[in-house]
Amino acid sequence: MRVLLVITIQLFLINACSNEGTSKTKYGIFKVIDENTIEMDGTIRSSTLDNFEEMIADHPNLNRINIKEVPGSKDDEINLQVSKIVFDRKMDIHIQEDGFVASGGTDFFLAGNSRTKGSNTRIGVHSWSDGSNEASSFPVGHQNHQPYIDYYQSIGFTQNEAEDFYYFTINAASADDIHWMTDDELLEYNILK
């Protein structure tokens, strides 16, 4: 009995020591690849800000995000908060080969210090809806447009660039559709840098 107890304690200590120094690598839609790089895959949700902040606390040297697929956001307010942190940290964002961003995922991508993409990638935009009205049903200059224009300015767009891109997005496709930006549009709106 005593030998069994000693062996059990030894196994417990070996397991405890082997787990020391290892850290969590998966944080919601984020996965830590190495000390500098994150892979992002999935829809931005209410929990994304907490996941991101926990990940940065555990891995403070992260400075690059590789996106697989980010089809949008279920929580626009959280999306813009996380995106602003990415911008303030001067993190680079790259859309991986065959990857895509759309809707709120595109807004997130724009927060990158550098914004690059692999081959066969897509960047999608569309109008937003409040459940009753689409963004394009409000006149230019309406207060409902301002949070997005303010966001684009907060991540380095000039006022004109922010307004031009925003109004392009809300008129490019309805809220239940998507417009995949052309190479000319990516160039016109300075999406890559």
For the stretch 21-37, pLDDT in tens is 446 899 999 999 999 99
pLDDT of residue 23: 67
Q: Which of 175, 155, 152, 174 is nearest to 164 (CA)?
A: 152
pLDDT of residue 42: 98
Whether domain 26-188 has CATH 3.30.530.20: the reply is no
Q: What is the pTM of this model?
A: 0.87
Could you tell me if 149 and 163 are in contact, meaning their C-beta atoms sit under 8 angstroms apart?
Answer: yes
Q: Which residues of the chain have pLDDT under 50?
A: 2-22
- HSE value, Cβ hemisphere, 13 Å, CA-based, for 157: 23
Pair of tokens at residue 139? 């006149």
Angle at alpha carbon of residue 112, lines to 106 and 118, rounded to 5°:
70
C-alpha distances in Å from residue 70, one per residue of 63, 108, 156, 164:
18, 9, 22, 23
Instruction: Name the residue ranges covered by the structural domains of the chain.
Output: 26-188
For the segment 160-186, what is each residue's pLDDT rounded down to a tens digit?
A: 999 999 999 999 999 999 999 999 999
